[in-house]
Amino acid sequence: MKNVVVTGGTKGIGKAIINQFNERGYQIITCSRTAEDCKAIEAEMSNLKAFQTDMSKKEEVLRFGQQVKDHFNQIDILINNAGIFIPGLSSEEEDGALEAMIETNLYSAYYLTRSLLEHIPENKASHIFNMCSIASIMAYPNGGSYSISKFALYGYTKVLREELKPKGIKVTAILPGATWSNSWKGVDLPEDRLMQADDVAKSIVVASDLSASAVIEEIVLRPQLGDL
């Protein structure tokens, strides 16, 4: 039986990812900032454990890493999905916006990956996915520090790919465009104007199913009608 770790897995894209791997019989560990969300998702799935974790805080990320290692003797797939979006112009956004998004969108992936690498087996098609964004490769209006943080995560993913290539550990950057999630909650747009979270989740499953000799380095997904 294989094990997967998905950060921020109780809502949106993270929840869709967990649903996909749950259907395939994986043992799953995830986390959320709220205890209520952890309890709710544990009640849905018998093969899942959720830990309350604020992924913007290094000490909590490292604690979560230890909890993962206490439960899993090896990790087949790590999906660094946790992230936040605070809209605004970099020249006008509130003080602390950059720090908040760098800590959540970049540092969480960096510290958790470092913590868990010893439990990710080499040369066995193990896989690390980082949830980047279209904002990782193009700036857009009102993207501000979110784009900065996602550019940084994309860079970190490229570094990981080069470092882990000789060890047989795959690394993939996921770069989705506008997807229905809490970030777009309440927006007055047709349902088909944005992607479904399940579209992103399915792409991760496909990439994880390849043989050990192949890796999809980047997955770029956009709404059929293009970016918003």
User: pLDDT of 17-44, one tens digit each?
Assistant: 999 999 999 999 999 999 999 999 999 9
pLDDT of residue 184: 63
Place 225 in a pLDDT band, splitting at 50, 70 and 90. confident
Sequence-distant (≥ 6) Cβ neighbours of residue 67 within 8 angstroms: 29, 51
Could you tell me which of 141, 143, 207, 147 has the C-alpha nearest to residue 174? 207
Class of 3-221 in CATH = alpha beta
pLDDT in tens, 92-109: 899 999 999 999 999 999
Q: Does residue 189 have a pLDDT over 90?
A: no
How many helices and strands, by DSSP H and E, does the chain display? Answer: 7, 7
pLDDT of residue 48: 98
Place 183 in a pLDDT band, splitting at 50, 70 and 90. low
Q: Does residue 191 have a pLDDT over 80?
A: no
pLDDT of residue 113: 98
Sheet with strand 127-131: strands edge to edge:
48-52, 27-32, 3-6, 77-80, 127-131, 170-176, 218-221
Q: What is the mean pLDDT of residues 147-153?
A: 97
Could you tell me which of 109, 80, 76 has the C-alpha nearest to residue 4? 76
pLDDT in tens, 99-147: 999 999 999 999 999 999 999 999 889 999 999 999 999 988 889 999 9
- Other CB atoms within a 10 A radius of the CB of residue 214 amount to 9
Token pair 């501000």 is found at 144
